[in-house]
Amino acid sequence: MQRCLVTGANRGLGLEFTRQLLARGARVLACCRDPARAKDLDALRTQHGDNLEVHALDVADARAIAALPEAAAKHLQRVDLLVNNAGVLVSGERFGNVTQESLLRSFAVNAAAPLLITQALSPLLARGHKPRVLCVSTQLASIAQANNFRTLSYAMSKAALNMAVKRLAAELSPRGIVVMALHPGWAQTDMGGDGATLPARQSIEAMLGIIERAEPDEGGSFLAYDGAPLPW
């Protein structure tokens, strides 16, 4: 049985990751800020029983990250797949209205948290079966493709996440842990907005396929959900 940990699991892509992993028979530790309000996770727990545990985690809280390995070890014993999915996007950013608060919050959640969570869970990943770390990035993080000022905090912080993925891959590949950054496409979630065209189910199926088939030398890759390489 695969043992998986998903952050930002209460809605959107994180919820779909959790749903599909459970459907495959995995044991999942689903992390979100407020489990009491995670009604969809409650429904999944009713359906899948002990295979799902919901854990309170604010990924911007250093103490919460420090306590995460204990919770993961209790429910999972090891980590085969870590999905760093939790993210924040500040809407309406344009030149002249970007704030320090938005930048700091975005970097804390989108860039620092995946690095710190992966670092904290590395001993459990080292115990895993074909251990993998999937970091949800975005095409907007591509510096080569940057051509406007919109969603700046999100794009900058996800570009920093891509650097973290490269450095983590260099560090963890010798331990057999594959780390990748994947762009989910314009998925139909609350964050994706009304114009999104890609069903979340299709996006998650594709990304899980990529991370599960990845060879050790593919660590540090930045790919779209369909497997296409994206420029840094």
* Tens-digit pLDDT profile for residues 159-176: 999 999 999 999 999 999
110 with 154: CB under 8 angstroms?
yes
Residue at 230 is within a domain: no
Q: Compute the CA torsion angle 29, 129, 180, 192 (nearest 10 deg).
A: -30
**pLDDT in the model for residue 195:** 75
What band does 193 get if pLDDT is binned at 50, 70 and 90?
A: low
Neighbours of 99 (CB within 10 A): 11
CA distances from 150 to 94, 181, 210 (A): 6, 21, 29
Is the predicted pLDDT of residue 192 greater than 70, yes or no? no
Is the predicted pLDDT of residue 187 greater than 90, yes or no? no
Domain total in the chain? 1
Residue at 204 is within a domain: yes
Residue at 229 is within a domain: no
**pLDDT in the model for residue 191:** 67
Average pLDDT over residues 145-158: 96
Q: Of the candidates 169, 6, 187, which has an alpha carbon nearest to the alpha carbon of residue 84? A: 6
Average pLDDT over residues 189-193: 68
CATH of the domain at 150: 3.40.50.720
Please tell me the pTM assigned to this model: 0.96
Name the percent of the chain lying above pLDDT 70: 97
**pLDDT in the model for residue 186:** 80
What band does 124 get if pLDDT is binned at 50, 70 and 90?
A: very high
Is the predicted pLDDT of residue 25 greater than 70, yes or no? yes
Residue at 66 is within a domain: yes
Provide the residue range defining the domain that includes 158.
3-224
Is the predicted pLDDT of residue 194 greater than 80, yes or no? no
**pLDDT in the model for residue 1:** 80
Neighbours of 167 (CB within 10 A): 13
**pLDDT in the model for residue 12:** 95
**pLDDT in the model for residue 189:** 76
Average pLDDT over residues 205-216: 97
Residue at 154 is within a domain: yes
Average pLDDT over residues 19-24: 98
What band does 218 get if pLDDT is binned at 50, 70 and 90?
A: very high
At 98-116, the pLDDT tens digits run 999 999 999 999 999 999 9
Residue 44's contacts (CB-CB under 8 Å, 6 or more residues apart) are 18, 19, 22, 30, 52
Residue at 232 is within a domain: no
Q: Of the candidates 85, 92, 222, 231, which has an alpha carbon nearest to the alpha carbon of residue 152? A: 92
